[in-house]
Structure 1
Amino acid sequence: MKEEDVNRCQIQEWYPKFKPVSIRTVIHELPESFVEYLVDDSGPFLLPLSISGEDALPNRIHNPIDEEDYQVSEGPGDESEQPPLPPSFPELELNIKESINTLGGAVFPKLNWSAPKDSAWISTSGTLRCTSFSEIALLLRSSDSLVHDLCHAYDSCIDKTLSRPPSFFLALRKWYSSFLPEMEFRCFVRGQQLAGISQREVTTFYPTLLEKKNDLELLIKEFFTENVRQKFESENYTFDVYVTKDGRAKILDFNPWGAFTLPLLFTWEELEQNLKEVENLVDFRIVESQCGIRPGLKTAVPQDYLDTGPGSGWDQFLRKADRELQQQKMAPGNGA
């Protein structure tokens, strides 16, 4: 891929063009001081000082004794080292607060390319739902996946000249409590041809998708032809789409072909082979049984917190799950 392909997938680039067929979003350009705050890991973990007095973790217990850990005595007559002061971004906070109100009081955040999905575990709700600047800052500052956006977005480009984009943006997207994960799909476009469609959430079997598969395929194919194909300039890319209860498709995201984009129920080789073998045939894949579920640790805690070494509880659990899966596949009536 080229840098221009990666750049087109930034939300501040594609959203204005696809706003009528996407979800409500307000985009803010981030000051460089806030970007530096996100990438700085040289000191203690500090949340910005809120001018509104908002707290991302309101139920935490404040223990003054813990603050003594930050004071280092250097001997008689020397003053103790003072803990660093938390940063403050008053203008950004006020702008974000206004946008949250505009979007109905709750949003989920996203940088140029990525959302901090890996840090949802730390929020009070266990999701990306945010109602304040402090909650947004907590998710962004806690996320490891956003390091990609901040430092490695162009690493897979054959014409790489940039180490990071000139500016970073924060997209605040309206939070919909009625969002159904089974109705989100990833679409793969190769040579401006729709090559495949995959269920986005592949760790769960949704029986309702079996009933709706043909209708969903037709709807998504028509949506691509009418709303995406002639408007998105790249030859190869993916886009995520959500199908509403009333049968409308909404674009959620664009991503480059290959590299850091997950192929989900496909492999990249399969997608390229599909186009070579049968032109204009779209392969639509969903999880069609419990046996088809792709493994995933849905624990709501970081991978680093899990002991998955030999003999650990998770190791035994995964081995048992693998044995049961193999037994199900070998049982009469499965694939025979």
Structure 2
Amino acid sequence: MASPAPPNLFPDLRCEDVLQFQHSVWYPIFARIAIKAKTIRPLPLEFSQYMHDDRVMVPEGSENILAESYLSDSESASDEHEDQDETRPPHYSFPELDAQIRAVIEEYDAVFPKLNFTSPQDSMWLLPSSTPLKCTSPADVYLILKSSDFVTHDLLASSVFEDCVDFIPEIDSQYELELVLKKWYSMDRSREFRCFVREGRLIGITQRDPVYYEYLTDVSNSNKIRSAILKLWTAEIEPRWPHPDYIVDLLLTRNLEKGHIVDLNPYGPKTDPVLFSFEDLRDLMETSSQELPVFRVIDSPSHPLVNRNAPKHQHNMVPLDALAFGSGQDPKSLSRNLADAIMQSVRSDNV
């Protein structure tokens, strides 16, 4: 009798499958155990244009400052020539969206933003390391998103669906951009874990942050973490999520006994497998020599991921101009002064 064919490295994805992983779709199912969040949709028609604009700016009225007049007594709008108006770059203002963002911030105190699928993790350098991605005004939200390369994935259907077997580039009307505002927490990244589910089986768990945390190497702690995740998945996630292939990010509580869903991702090449490779995960599907799920952590300060001394996507995170600007400054001063400089530049552009 012939042996069954080995599983493919990735499952076949269809557009309708990918759409199920939008935050607005999965969050209502798991709201009880997920990080609190609000989804704003539809967005203004000009929002996509704003996100595609190469200039770094925030829309007028989005800062938490009193409106100021930048015209002197001798100036007025009538002094502007019509031909100058025709060549002036697009001007952006989203008062209704600003009001919606402020309402969520008032409810949550602070938020961190994402689009349909992607968080602007590469924009963390804009804010102090003690408060990564913490936004307290619409301007913060816009600036974090505008400074991210990661979120550009969500702007076009061609990138969202590029791995789908049924994607037809001319047809993208089923996709609508949305803004997600999650309640900001000071999260302990050592308690974040990425879990891989293939053909309805939880096959692998890895720490999410590629940093050495000594307590994770303790056998009793690792067993406790693995047991808590397996219990959460079995009781709360697997019965409610009908898709057999997915990757779920979890944040465990301080006692490592319970957890919350941070995100749900398609099982595909765009999702970072962290301490696994997708070849490793495929092999786990074919072997019975290990008890599933396999749990991996960085087990030594000399681990290759730790020795890189830089984030995986460091080339996306800090512009060369920022490095030059920050010469000789400590990290906290650099973050504060750079953010101030950016906002000053933004305000000048908005004049």
Deviations 1:24-48 (A, max 9, x none): 111111222212211233xx43310
Q: In structure 2, what residue type is equivalent to 1:98?
A: A
Cα distance, 1:259 vs structure 2: 1.9
Cα RMSD of the aligned pairs, angstroms, is: 2.8
CA contact (8 A) 1:121 1:301 kept: no
Query: 1: distance between equivalents of 2:127 and 2:180?
Result: 18
Query: 1: distance between equivalents of 2:294 and 2:192?
Result: 16
Query: 2: distance between equivalents of 1:281 and 1:31?
Result: 46
Cα distance, 1:244 vs structure 2: 1.1
Query: 1: distance between equivalents of 2:139 and 2:51?
Result: 13
Deviations 1:60-97 (A, max 9, x none): xxxx9xxxxxxxxxxxxx97987446311001101110
Aligned to 1:145: 150
Q: In structure 2, what residue type is equivalent to 1:131?
A: T
Q: Is 1:260–2:270 an aligned residue pair?
A: yes
Query: 2: distance between equivalents of 1:280 and 1:233?
Result: 24
CA contact (8 A) 2:62 2:137 kept: no
Give the 3-state SS of the residue equivalent to 1:118 in structure 2. helix
Deviations 1:269-324 (A, max 9, x none): 110111111286211000011122413524977457469xxxxxxxxxxxxxxxxx
Give the 3-state SS of the residue equivalent to 1:50 in structure 2. coil
Cα distance, 1:121 vs structure 2: 1.8
Cα distance, 1:142 vs structure 2: 1.6
- The more displaced of 44-53 and 107-116 is 44-53
Question: 5 Å matches for 1:1-336?
Answer: 1-29=13-41, 30-41=43-54, 44-50=55-61, 53-54=64-65, 83-84=88-89, 86-103=91-108, 105-123=109-127, 127-151=132-156, 152-161=159-168, 162-163=171-172, 166-177=175-186, 179-202=187-210, 204-211=211-218, 212-246=221-255, 247-278=257-288, 281-294=292-305, 295=308, 297-298=310-311, 302=316, 305=319
Give the 3-state SS of the residue equivalent to 2:244 in structure 1. coil
Query: 1: distance between equivalents of 2:318 and 2:137?
Result: 28
- The more displaced of 262-271 and 26-35 is 26-35
TM normalised by structure 1 equals 0.77
Query: 2: distance between equivalents of 1:217 and 1:255?
Result: 20
CA contact (8 A) 1:184 1:240 kept: yes
- Structure 2 residue runs of 5 or longer lacking an equivalent are 1-12, 72-82, 322-351
Give the 3-state SS of the residue equivalent to 1:291 in structure 2. coil
Q: In structure 1, what residue type is equivalent to 2:30?
A: F
Query: 2: distance between equivalents of 1:83 and 1:186?
Result: 46
Q: In structure 2, what residue type is equivalent to 1:25?
A: A
Count of aligned pairs between the two proteins: 283
Give the 3-state SS of the residue equivalent to 2:242 in structure 1. coil
CA contact (8 A) 1:23 1:250 kept: yes
Query: 1: distance between equivalents of 2:84 and 2:115?
Result: 41
Query: 1: distance between equivalents of 2:263 and 2:134?
Result: 18
- The 1:242–1:136 alpha-carbon spacing in structure 2 relative to 1, beyond 3 Å, is same
- The 1:231–1:80 alpha-carbon spacing in structure 2 relative to 1, beyond 3 Å, is closer
CA contact (8 A) 1:150 1:164 kept: no
Greater than 6 Å deviation, 4+ residue runs: 78-82
Aligned to 2:328: none
Query: 2: distance between equivalents of 1:134 and 1:81?
Result: 26
- The 1:81–1:32 alpha-carbon spacing in structure 2 relative to 1, beyond 3 Å, is closer
Query: 2: distance between equivalents of 1:99 and 1:141?
Result: 20
Q: Which has the higher contact order (CA 8 A, sep 6+)?
A: 2
- The more displaced of 149-158 and 294-303 is 294-303
- The 1:124–1:175 alpha-carbon spacing in structure 2 relative to 1, beyond 3 Å, is same
Q: In structure 1, what residue type is equivalent to 2:184?
A: W
CA contact (8 A) 2:123 2:317 kept: no
- Structure 1 residue runs of 5 or longer lacking an equivalent are 56-63, 65-77, 308-336
CA contact (8 A) 2:23 2:180 kept: yes
